Structure 1
Amino acid sequence: MSRPLHAVIVSALVRNHRHEILLIRHPKRGWELPQGHVEAGESLDEALRREVLEETGYQVEPEGVLALLSKRGPEPSAVIVGFAARLTGGTARTSEESLEVGWFREEEARTLPEHPVNRDRIALLLDSVGGLRLQAYHTGPYRPEPQLRLKNNQSR
């Protein structure tokens, strides 16, 4: 079976009642937001709920899209949809994709990830107040492109 040319990925910025941010420690990529591929026949919100539950043990509800990222580089390229999500239940647990699950203050969440892709993604989602953020980046080596912010200027 051939690899897909393009992947769709969801990523979750989840806060608890203390406004701490949920991160996982992936075995290869280190600390990052919960994320994962959208499976065939699955909606974005279904994928977000499933991925967060599988990787962390927590249940969430999507609250809105904060950012769209475009990963350019060797196949497969990807579109990553960054959501804000509300914690609704569950208990922390690890998985094959999450060696650790933890809640971190915003300052820690911004600096804890070792990989620049993960640091930049967290910053992008945290800084997305006031409009949807668009960000493209190249892999091998990592090179981010300038961000674009879209405001919701609907008139009635």
Structure 2
Amino acid sequence: MKPFIPVVRALIRGEDGVLMLRRSRESSTNPSLWELPGGKVRAGETLDEALSREVREETGLRITPLHLLGAYEQVFPHKVSVNIIFSVEVRGGALELSMEHEDFCWFRSGVLEFSPWLSEFKGDRPDLFR
């Protein structure tokens, strides 16, 4: 059996839509695909702690997790990533991308190449992206 890797993700809504990040083309997972901010949970961290840390590292934003929105798997050759998605409130900070991502946008509609798990989530919950 492949190991399950917990990954937390933040659905950040703004006036212009949902914040999306495009992974670096050098990334070993989902290169150049669009995703929600977030990342792996470290040993000893709660999901809330991991989400706050990852969003701050990737975007410069300070957030408070609010509600669980869903969980979606992505199967890789040697692991299964379990993306746990939360709605969040932005408490401060200024949007600045880390080296993991090469672009961002505020998405409401249109065509973007999403990570596979995000395509599934978006299909299940289109109301969150309006």
State the TM-score, normalizing by the size of structure 1: 0.67
What does 1:93-108 correspond to in 2, within 5 Å? 93-104=96-107, 106-108=108-110
**Partners of 1:88 and 1:125 in 2: CA distance:** 25
What stretches of structure 2 of length at least 5 have no aligned partner? 25-30
**Partners of 1:53 and 1:9 in 2: CA distance:** 15
Checking the alignment, whether the CA contact within 8 Å between 1:32 and 1:113 is kept in structure 2 is no
**Partners of 1:52 and 1:121 in 2: CA distance:** 19
Q: Could you tell me which amino acid in structure 1 is paired with residue 81 of structure 2?
A: A
Identical pairs, percent: 34
Which ranges of 4 or more aligned residues in structure 1 deviate by more than 4 Å?
Answer: 125-128
Q: 1:11 aligns with which of 9, 17, 25?
A: 9
What does 1:71-90 correspond to in 2, within 5 Å? 71-90=74-93
**Partners of 1:9 and 1:38 in 2: CA distance:** 6
Q: 1:41 aligns with which of 44, 48, 61?
A: 44
Which protein shows a greater Rg?
1
Q: Could you tell me which amino acid in structure 2 is paired with residue 103 of structure 1?
A: W
C-alpha RMSD of matched pairs (Å)? 2.2
Partner of 2:121: 121
Q: Could you tell me which amino acid in structure 2 is paired with residue 30 of structure 1?
A: L
Distance change >3 Å, CA 48–CA 14, structure 1 → 2 = same
Distance change >3 Å, CA 93–CA 20, structure 1 → 2 = same
Q: Could you tell me which amino acid in structure 2 is paired with residue 32 of structure 1?
A: E
State the TM-score, normalizing by the size of structure 2: 0.79
1:24 lines up with 2:21 in the alignment: yes
Higher relative CO (Cα under 8 Å, sequence separation at least 6) belongs to 2
**Partners of 2:126 and 2:61 in 1: CA distance:** 20
What stretches of structure 1 of length at least 5 have no aligned partner? 129-156
Distance change >3 Å, CA 98–CA 116, structure 1 → 2 = same
